[in-house]
Amino acid sequence: MGAYSPPPIATPALEAIVMRDVIRPVVEGLARDGIRYTGILYAGLMVRDGKPSVLEFNVRLGDPEAQVLLARFASDLADVMVRTCDGRLAGTTIAWDPRAAVCVVLAAEGYPGTPTTGVPIDGLDALRDWTDGVVFHAGTKRADGRVVDRRRPRARRDGARRHDSRRRRRGATAASRPHLVAGHAASPRHRPSALARGGR
């Protein structure tokens, strides 16, 4: 499982189609039903021949899609959330890091059925001073001085910002098998986009 952002198919033309044919109709439909929706609306899409089809809607920061976007989010997230809650989001400029990001999920053996639990997650110390990425935890806990997975699957995601960090990631990967670490590197061909592409 994982996600990357921005996907090469995320052209301004496709974004306009998604807003026109998917997002605006949902928001307008909610308003017609007397629901003033405030918050996150995430549309999971499949795009074929330039036409989006909706797979799902989420009203939360889902993973891994949210993590890969947060690695590129350059504005103050708390400020944007407060403005959203206060109804002051209109006119707010949101900045995106133009570099590409990759998020790799590390799921416990047996996921999504009956995942194993209590397995130590090694290699995190090697990333303690890593400034080029971030490790997100989901379903982990500290036990006897070690990080282990809990009832839910474990996951690690990060975004690396420089090509030389790839070498360090490879070292951390080897030290923490079977826990894979990936990152993001500069990609001048891609313009900033709020879209992410994920897979499970």
What does the DSSP 8-state code read for residue 191?
P
Largest pairwise CA distance in the chain = 55
Cα separation of 128 and 155, whole Å?
17
Cα separation of 182 and 167, whole Å?
11
At the fourth CATH level, the homologous superfamily of domain 2-98+189-199 is ATP-grasp fold, B domain (3.30.470.20)
Report the pLDDT value the prediction gives residue 115, as an integer from 0 to 100: 80
Q: Per-residue pLDDT tens for 165-186?
A: 443 443 333 222 222 333 443 3
Q: Per-residue pLDDT tens for 86-132?
A: 999 999 999 999 888 888 887 778 877 888 888 888 888 887 787 77
Domain with CATH 3.90.600.10 in the chain: 101-184
40 vs 149, more confident:
40
| 3-state SS class at 19 | helix
CA 158 to chain centre: 9
Whether 70 has a pLDDT exceeding 70, the answer reads yes
Whether 2 has a pLDDT exceeding 90, the answer reads no
CA 99 to chain centre: 14
Report the pLDDT value the prediction gives residue 133, as an integer from 0 to 100: 77
Domain with CATH 3.30.470.20 in the chain: 2-98+189-199
Report the pLDDT value the prediction gives residue 136, as an integer from 0 to 100: 79
Of 133, 123, 122, the residue nearest 100 (C-alpha)? 133
At the fourth CATH level, the homologous superfamily of domain 101-184 is Phosphoribosylglycinamide synthetase, C-terminal domain (3.90.600.10)
- pTM, two decimal places: 0.68
Q: Per-residue pLDDT tens for 127-174?
A: 778 777 778 777 788 888 888 877 443 334 444 443 334 434 433 332
